[in-house]
Structure 1
Amino acid sequence: MRCLAAWDETHDVRSFLLAPEDGGRIAYSPGQFITLRVPGPDGEPVERCYTLSSSAAGERTATITVKKKPGGVLSGHLHATLTPGTSIEVFGPSGQFGPAAVDEKYLLLSAGSGVTPMLSVIRTAADLGIDLDATFLHAARTEHDLIARDDLAAFARRLPRLRLLTVASRANGTWAGERGRLDTGVLGRLVSDLASRTVLCCGPEGFMAAMREACLALGVAPNRYFEESFDFGEVEVEVPADGPLHRITFAKSGKTFDCPENLTILQAARLAGVPMPSSCAKGVCGTCKCMKTSGSVDMNHGGGIRDREVARGFILPCSSRPLSDIVLDR
């Protein structure tokens, strides 16, 4: 995709307007994300997932909103080099986080850069004339860390049942909104009808863990609480001392390694020191997608691959355990 425009949202958050280089369309749903890939410092590719913050009503462009993290390889790279006219490799859109039905009542609950999927939900509803019944509660450090503050105020005028609430933990003396940290007591006081709402939550892992506990304590049904998270972490795997091994072969590079049946192909590749592109490692983002030219696998993915792609022979190595020797078109 090519960057068409870039602008600062706050002192450390920048938005980038992207469009397919071939002039095609990019169709997505509110809450979906794309995966960006750039060359890393050691020459190996670095991938990160970023939720689209733009309205899904249009299909010509898409916007990501990126917080520059201290030591962040890709976020720092984007802030420094992704300028109008430059291009970047993109996978997706992927993911299933977002409102499932327009006639439900929602609590959009976010902190920091977790605001991005909520912006897409609100912008899409405004552009499509959806009468969205939503309370949007956002936690920020200070009023200067609020992303798209003016835009949200404008959308509230277009969406009569949208209620905007902000909690600032370190606001200065001029801040007229809620102060302090968002906890169970504050949440229950600000959203008195919380138990009747479906909750979409996004933010740092600690924030989401606290909000998950608070929402369930305040009566939200577990099947009506949803999170979006890209903090996938490292998953420890147990390599069996014996048992069947299947040979995995990369047809183009000639690399081979053995994979036990209880490991995914991606896990075995990492243990063997064979680099493979990946981001979520949970079958969601589709970054590792590749063609399987022979062999059979047991694949249990999270939505990062379409049925028609599977029918053509594509697999997600992060979600595929071998049932035989495998050849991949890599």
Structure 2
Amino acid sequence: MTSVAPDSLGYTIEVADVISETPDASSLIFDVPKALVEKFTYRPGQFLTVRIPSERTGSVARCYSLASSPTTDERLKVTVKRTAGGYGSNWLCDNITAGDSLHVLPPSGTFTPHDLNGDFQLFAAGSGITPVMSILKTVLASAAGSVALYYANRDRESIIFDSELADLAKKYPDRLTIEHRIESETGLPTPGSLTQFADNHFDSNVFVCGPAPFMALVKETLTSIGYDRHHIHIEEFRSLDGDPFAPIKVVVTDEDTESSTVEVTLDGDTHTLPWPADATLIDVMVSAGIDAPYSCREGECGSCACTLVEGTVDPGNTDALDPDDVADGYILGCQAKPTSPNLKIEF
């Protein structure tokens, strides 16, 4: 089944299977129709934004990482772990079965390697393993570098993909190293354990996903021992308050004297567009029929991060950007509004 809801953006696709990974985590396997295969092409580490029914608001939107690999897996897979008080995760785990359908936006996200070559240092805690697993499998299958995974969990029962990781370690004994950090046995991750794991691998590509304190600890530890902050990629998700599935329409008239002009470069193509002062860049691009990258439209996920090459903007909410990224000229397309007559932006 596939359709475009008349009152929303996105697509309705069928759940082919539901796999129990741990007592509180399940994977949803999606059957993407042939007509949508290109639209749902993804890179390792990206995620899906899912529309979940809600009796109070009609629906809520949540982002879930793809645990599948575009290289090794025929079907898309997201893994959902229950969180205390988490409406979206509990609803999916309690209600979705094989044959059901969900309304989703195409894969998006910037937590993905630009190049699969070289060595990788991967750090995950709890359900943070999901996008990291996608990267790990893709690198092992598509490149020749080594992969080292530091994986923290509350206890052995909580290890998502435990048997799959063990199988991969046997298949790639010379390329894959896994260090499990089990809180019930050795305590929480420490700067000492992270340093011992990561020392002398300063040229590696680093990807980190998990609870905020874990990610902050990893980044602080690695930068303190000499890692380049630009090589450390952090992923985190926040609950979305708005509706990224709501239709977008920006109308520019000849009387719109406050409209700026922007040159946007995306996937090698440059588009010149009028940009009204009260519209965001993503709204302008989507209204013009451009397949712009976005997922939350709230400045929370970072999918629409881009570089302001020329001109000035009101940046809006930039919570998804690291202060260093802001200093390097990054903005969020779903938040930025123009404050100069001419702008150039690159995705």
When normalised by structure 1's length, the TM-score is 0.70
The 3 A distance-change label for structure 1 pair 123 and 78 is same
Residues in 2 aligned to 1:122 and 1:280: alpha-carbon distance in whole angstroms: 29
Q: Is contact 1:232–1:280 with CA below 8 Å preserved after alignment?
A: no
The Cα offsets for residues 260-305 of structure 1, whole Å up to 9 and x where unpaired, read as 9589599xxxxxxxxxx9736227447xxxxxxxxxx979899xxx
Q: Is contact 1:17–1:61 with CA below 8 Å preserved after alignment?
A: yes
The Cα offsets for residues 140-194 of structure 1, whole Å up to 9 and x where unpaired, read as 11111111111111112233211111101113xxxxxxx2221211111223324
Structure 1 unaligned residues grouped into runs of 5+: 172-178, 235-247, 252-259, 267-276, 287-296, 303-315, 324-330
The 3 A distance-change label for structure 1 pair 5 and 127 is farther
Determine helix, strand or coil for the equivalent of 1:64.
Answer: strand
The Cα offsets for residues 108-159 of structure 1, whole Å up to 9 and x where unpaired, read as 001010001111112223444x223111001111111111111111112233
Aligned amino acid, residue 335 of structure 2 = S
Residues in 2 aligned to 1:63 and 1:161: alpha-carbon distance in whole angstroms: 25
Query: What is residue 186 of structure 1 aligned with on the other side?
Result: 193
Equivalent residue runs for 1:72-221 within 5 Å: 72-128=86-142, 130-159=143-172, 160-171=174-185, 179-221=186-228
Residues in 1 aligned to 2:165 and 2:21: alpha-carbon distance in whole angstroms: 13
Residues in 1 aligned to 2:96 and 2:145: alpha-carbon distance in whole angstroms: 34
The 3 A distance-change label for structure 1 pair 284 and 151 is same
Query: What is residue 31 of structure 2 aligned with on the other side?
Result: 19
The 3 A distance-change label for structure 1 pair 93 and 233 is closer
Determine helix, strand or coil for the equivalent of 1:114.
Answer: helix
The 3 A distance-change label for structure 1 pair 280 and 146 is farther
Q: Is contact 1:113–1:203 with CA below 8 Å preserved after alignment?
A: yes
Deviation at residue 23 of structure 1 after TM alignment: 5.7
The 3 A distance-change label for structure 1 pair 222 and 250 is closer
Structure 2 unaligned residues grouped into runs of 5+: 1-12, 242-247, 252-275, 283-293, 305-311, 319-331, 340-347
Residues in 1 aligned to 2:81 and 2:41: alpha-carbon distance in whole angstroms: 24
The 3 A distance-change label for structure 1 pair 58 and 322 is same
Residues in 2 aligned to 1:317 and 1:125: alpha-carbon distance in whole angstroms: 29
Determine helix, strand or coil for the equivalent of 1:170.
Answer: helix
Q: Is contact 2:108–2:295 with CA below 8 Å preserved after alignment?
A: no
Determine helix, strand or coil for the equivalent of 1:121.
Answer: helix
How large is the RMSD of aligned CA atoms in angstroms? 3.4
Determine helix, strand or coil for the equivalent of 1:103.
Answer: coil
Aligned amino acid, residue 5 of structure 1 = D
User: 2:22 aligned to 3, 10, 13, which one?
Assistant: 10
Determine helix, strand or coil for the equivalent of 2:60.
Answer: strand
Deviation at residue 195 of structure 1 after TM alignment: 2.6
1:37 is the counterpart of 2:37: no
When normalised by structure 2's length, the TM-score is 0.67
Determine helix, strand or coil for the equivalent of 1:223.
Answer: helix
The 3 A distance-change label for structure 1 pair 50 and 77 is same
Q: How many residue pairs are counted as aligned between the two chains?
A: 263
Residues in 1 aligned to 2:123 and 2:297: alpha-carbon distance in whole angstroms: 22
**Percentage of identical aligned residues:** 28
